[in-house]
Amino acid sequence: MGVVYPTILLSRTHWRSFPVQVPSTLQTRLWNYFDSSTVWMCRDLSRNELVCMKAMVSNYPSVERELRAFELLATASTLSKTIGKKHVRHAEDQFKLDHAGRTYQFLIHDPLGFPFSQLHEMPGYTLPLERAQISVLEVLKAVYYLHINAHVIHTDIQTRNMLLSVETPEVLTEMEDLEVAQPSARKMTAETAVFLSREPYGECERWIGDKSSLVLCDFGEARPGGSSHTGLIQPGPFRAPEVILEIPWSEPVDIWNVGCVSWNMMFGTHLFPRKASVDNAGEEVKTKEDMHHLARMVALLGRPPAELLQKAGPRALHFFYANGTPKVEVPNISFESLLEENLKRIDQPLERERFLRFLRRCLTWTAETRATVIDLILEYESWVPKDPQSPM
């Protein structure tokens, strides 16, 4: 059985993850592990095809949200007009198993490759501007599909949740052959085994190329669309102002996400840098980080509208004086000054102007003034190079 956590964690994660056998009913190798799931590459013997199996942690809060999102996606996939469908991961199958008094949910997906986040981390690799622009358009099409067809709010749009389709599918079969010839390292115990995940096999060019398209994944934080929600969502650097101010939010939080992640995809940096550990810190530390986060928004967007602060009520006074002035120093930056630091990336004035207009339509203080995803698609695709591999 294969619980995919380091040995030191076994005592406190005992039976949180279903113990997968390697080999088992599905010929299996560990692909990766996360807080809420383990991911395995398997051969489905009934179809004789390689698939990706996501084994979800028992009783984890995100499991029900993810299953509900895939139900909505399954319904949406039957619609005739499916703009962006190919850029959203769907579940090809799902099942559940009982073990040690717990129930475990499993999802079956088509296998995909690297997360987009790795492109900026590869030594000697520079993501071509045209490829980055096309990828932003693919994200927009994915969001259109989620909002319009599936009625899903993703809430967690970041580059680590965007996987790229595999340029040369044969590399997956070669990984399978390698697993048979050289099995993954593992530690056996009386009850289970701990497996070590392995790096992808083969040259980077076999995984990423002209045929690779972006697929938005991971729906553990997704919420049903068509209504307002409350509660903390989004990774810190991509968090919308209404979330920080604890105002009810809906689909426009994804549009804010798109604006932030577009900058990240283009340049590999964050418009709103934020310490990853802050959300788990005490209230005083979180409030201080939120103050600087909102002050940076003021630098880029101007002061928040009075009606937004009124909606936030007493919480707004943690960050702003009554006249809307931030309680911490506003950094001396602008979209233009930040873009000046990246002139080697976008050196044409017209391209810079278009990109800044796009950002300003995504990143507004109020949800009501943000552009809709269809408006953004129509504008963006009018000047982004057409991807011959990506029909609407």
Q: How many CA atoms lie within 13 A of 222 on its CB side?
A: 29
Q: What is the per-residue pLDDT across 356-391, written as a single tens digit (0 to 9) for each?
A: 999 999 999 999 999 999 999 999 888 776 654 544
- CATH number of the domain within which 108 lies: 1.10.510.10
Provide the pLDDT for residue 1: 26
In a domain, 106, yes or no: yes
Structure tokens at 182: 């050289």
Provide the pLDDT for residue 20: 52
Q: Which residue has the higher pLDDT, 184 or 151?
A: 151
Tell me how far apart the alpha carbons of residues 166 and 242 are, in angstroms, rounded to a whole number.
37
pLDDT at 340 over 80: yes
Task: Give the chain's domain count.
Answer: 1
Q: Distances from the Cα of 173 to the Cαs of 43, 89, 93, 300, in angstroms?
A: 10, 21, 21, 48
Q: Which of 115, 95, 108 is nearest to 28 (CA)?
A: 108
Residue 141 belongs to what H/E stretch?
Answer: helix 129-144
Q: Are 389 and 86 in contact (CB under 8 A)?
A: no
Per the prediction, the chain carries an average pLDDT of 84
Q: To 5 degrees, how large is the angle CA 120–CA 125–CA 130?
A: 80
In a domain, 320, yes or no: no
Task: Give the residue numbers spanning the domain of 231.
Answer: 8-271+332-381
Q: What is the DSSP string of 254-289?
A: HHHHHHHHHHHHHHSS-SS---TTGGGS-HHHHHHH
Q: Hey, which residues does 30 pair with through a beta bridge?
A: 40
Q: Which of 17, 220, 10, 5 is nearest to 102 (CA)?
A: 17
In a domain, 391, yes or no: no
3-state secondary structure of 295: helix
In a domain, 290, yes or no: no
Tell me how far apart the alpha carbons of residues 325 and 296 are, in angstroms, rounded to a whole number.
12
